[in-house]
Structure 1
């Protein structure tokens, strides 16, 4: 067999239509009142067709060819530019953007479905348009009318791609250490000087212009993150001349080799401020939060495709199994019948499909936060989305790499070779745990920055809403309630103990985030079981599989959930220091 991508349209429809009941919820929002289920399905099916027919065939060849760099110019793999032009011509970049600025005004859930399919089909190619919606959010909310008039339209349409220029070699994730400078000019512009690294799509041949969003310091900036401002610096200036910025090289990477990861030099480049001076992070976070949700979708997408290919392989691969009672010889069966393989595939299915339930619910929260007429609903949706962003980014990308590795194991030795495809999936998935804030940073963001400041009030309110959404008579409702209660208890203990041990939250953050992801998946599966129970009992195979997956979740993932909580409890004991050592 060969590696392939089949879009999980039926699974997407199940989450959108049956589990979340979004068409009925859209009808209650003025922004989507005219959107019906049939139109949403048509959008998903057309997106699937584009991902499968246009983008997926470029995945393996693009990995082998990679990008080229010469004298500051970057070439992308063969076919990438034509695929991107087709993407723009079809209007996909504008899917969830405001109609007032040229967008189609469709829900974030449909945009999430689009980018899940694109990432699964070709992660490297999807890196180029992956920041477009975040750039749109940033400019739409914070740019001056003049900048919006000049740049917002081409970003919404995808005519111009964008970047997020944060990282500097000496600073890494500590943005407070960045040194790039912005010198104000009499005409209101600035001159940017400095170097940025790890810039996805910093230079390429897909679009004629690139809109760089750059963090830098003004001359009067205070130290630390409070002194950072955000600037827009295009590759091509309004008068048609080339700006004073260039790509000094591209990284040779473990994965996503068709995505140009650039070192960018700004040598007096012309730019304009976005938002207020010294408040660049506030403006950039509109872009970063969107990017983090898209990275979570990357983890989900790669895990899903790895699982589907492993499942197909397991049905085709014949191997002898241990004799069963009454057998006189060990027959050769598809390895999907072997208990060890079946266990791995079932765990993959539970985490992949449960992850999709969480991701699409979070995308809908973004729509409620923007479009709900009730102010209290908008605020609670915004709070929940802010809390879930680090959970989803870390949880789904951890799963993306781990489950792709598990899928490789199903392939055995074949999986370790390029021709079978899964080894590329493993390599591509690994980066999602690192960029847009490492997963350790996401855990710290959740526990230290979002739970501790208000004593956990907003997070406990989120858990209460999770409990309220559980059908009381559902088969797994009591178990899901128990998981959520145990998670809340662990968080309350952490909040109380942190007052006397400032390092404690940092020691336990990773384990608490993992426990949170598992508890939310369990709650989602309890709801899915309730939704599917009647049709499963009537013999519907699709819904019977949902009920079987829910049962597997509660039977087989509970020890993993308990282990995460136990690790968090163990973290109450301070870690030993790592002493200096002589490497020789």
Structure 2
């Protein structure tokens, strides 16, 4: 059984060479050199052993409450005691106030060690950002300290049986009641909706008030704690735990709000905009989930391949690492893990530097879609490298496939995100964002293959801007946008290869990106320039 070990050297290399955090005010290389090993030591010892337990034991619903494996509860207490929930939170509320890219490093390692654990822990970070952005001063002073300390955790309650990606169909109602609201409705697919890591879970709930405008314009955001200030439980009930393909250590709840006490965050009718603070944070977090899982997939596949003998050479039985096709698969996993890590770290630093919001609105969903598509492809390669052993639970690569599959679906399906990015590219008032992205990917040493990919993206963008029906092309356009950003960060890593932990491996992967991955841009451009038409829906009627 191959366990996870935090990739300290690779993380430090990507952070320094691609994130370039020295651009941040008050950045300290010394702090980074101390903090990364400290995070790795904690996660290797405390979190990595939980992955098997989370998968095999998982969450249980008992008498209306969710119970987690005791080992996971104990590890959470140590996590909170170490102060990790407040790593990037404001100092005035008890946090360390470090740059958000440190939170990315933490999430990267957590996700590799135990993905279902990281997923639940990340929700508090999004909640902290949301309350900080939309709460009143009084709400921030009251609600943030217990979230920052880890005394409370959080959930994000959007989805309903009839409202998935189309949030305008939300029916949950929030009726004014004294100095607050009574929130009633059903929510589904709520990650971390209940557990016993903490006594209290702060639910951020999208609901509509009486006489609110229809659609998303009528949505407001409410903070509904599981435990009220007087110590009694709010009228929020977990009625079912989903029985899932993977992520067994992440409780996914069906929840009923029955006149639950809630308070408005921000203004009525502005809930979706407020919630987007949390949703965008979670989308970048999902990108890091994919990175962490690709990292552990490479670790396990590499270790297996380095000891597995099949086939012969003139000198005897061959290690499978001598076979060109196995080398191709290993380089594919490594290239995607490192490249997606670089994309996300760079985006985090640019975000903290106040990069243009239009550009961030392209980069954030692009990172999420590209990385999550990549983890689904590369986890399959990890199984393939293991051969028949990969199909067996003992080798723990089939679990990566099961756990990772949801990533292209939650926090906005990749198809929905692709439509959003394509629309931003074709809207006239977003021309500045497209120009900013062009400048981003064109700046630096540029190989012939990357230059060709950038030109393919420019032609595709021009075509999308003149098209009435973009639907058949949005997935290809998102893929092409991600591929170009991926190519850019890989060109930058190749230029810094002398500083890499394994320079020869990094150079081999860079060549692999140029020769095997970037040429896909020409195919994507051709598809976008000559799209398949949208068909009559009756064609697919059952």
TM over 0.5: yes
- Aligned residue for 2:121? 129
- Match status 1:87 vs 2:85: no
- Match status 1:526 vs 2:501: no
- Aligned residue for 2:524? 564
Cα 1:154–1:581 change in 2 (3 A) is closer
Contact 1:301 1:400 in 2 (8 A): no
- Match status 1:295 vs 2:286: yes
- Aligned residue for 1:283? 274
Separation in 2, partners of 1:216, 1:257: 28
How many positions carry a matched residue from both structures? 542
Contact 1:526 1:550 in 2 (8 A): yes
1:164-188 Cα shifts (integer Å, max 9, x gaps): 000001122110001000100232x
Q: Secondary structure at the residue paired with 1:447?
A: helix
Offset at residue 256 of structure 1 (A): 0.4
CA root-mean-square deviation: 1.7
Offset at residue 482 of structure 1 (A): 2.6
Contact 2:366 2:482 in 1 (8 A): yes
Contact 2:463 2:529 in 1 (8 A): no
Q: Secondary structure at the residue paired with 1:128?
A: helix
Contact 1:455 1:495 in 2 (8 A): no
- Aligned residue for 1:182? 174
Q: State TM-score, norm by structure 1.
A: 0.90
- Aligned residue for 1:575? 534
Give runs of aligned pairs for residues 51-70 of structure 1, distance below 5 A. 51-70=43-62
Q: Which moved further from structure 2: 67-76 or 441-450?
A: 441-450
Separation in 1, partners of 2:425, 2:92: 33
Contact 2:18 2:345 in 1 (8 A): no
- Aligned residue for 2:409? 434
Higher relative contact order (CA 8 A, sep 6+): 2
1:390-417 Cα shifts (integer Å, max 9, x gaps): 1011110111111011111100111111
Q: Which moved further from structure 2: 172-181 or 62-71?
A: 62-71
Contact 2:487 2:518 in 1 (8 A): no
- Aligned residue for 2:317? 332
Cα 1:455–1:290 change in 2 (3 A) is closer
Separation in 1, partners of 2:540, 2:340: 42
Contact 1:456 1:495 in 2 (8 A): no
Cα 1:186–1:18 change in 2 (3 A) is closer
Contact 2:459 2:525 in 1 (8 A): no
Separation in 2, partners of 1:216, 1:19: 40
- Aligned residue for 2:3? 4
Offset at residue 531 of structure 1 (A): 2.0
Q: Secondary structure at the residue paired with 2:197?
A: coil
- Match status 1:170 vs 2:159: no
Separation in 2, partners of 1:524, 1:517: 11
Match of 2:345 among 360, 369, 373: 360
Separation in 2, partners of 1:575, 1:17: 45
What residue ranges of structure 1 are gaps of 5+ in the alignment?
Answer: 370-377
Contact 1:160 1:210 in 2 (8 A): yes
- Aligned residue for 1:481? 451
- Match status 1:550 vs 2:510: yes
Separation in 2, partners of 1:307, 1:445: 32
Match of 2:373 among 398, 401, 410: 398
Cα 1:161–1:542 change in 2 (3 A) is same
Offset at residue 450 of structure 1 (A): 5.4
Give runs of aligned pairs for residues 441-452 of structure 1, distance below 5 A. 441-449=416-424, 451-452=426-427
Offset at residue 429 of structure 1 (A): 0.4
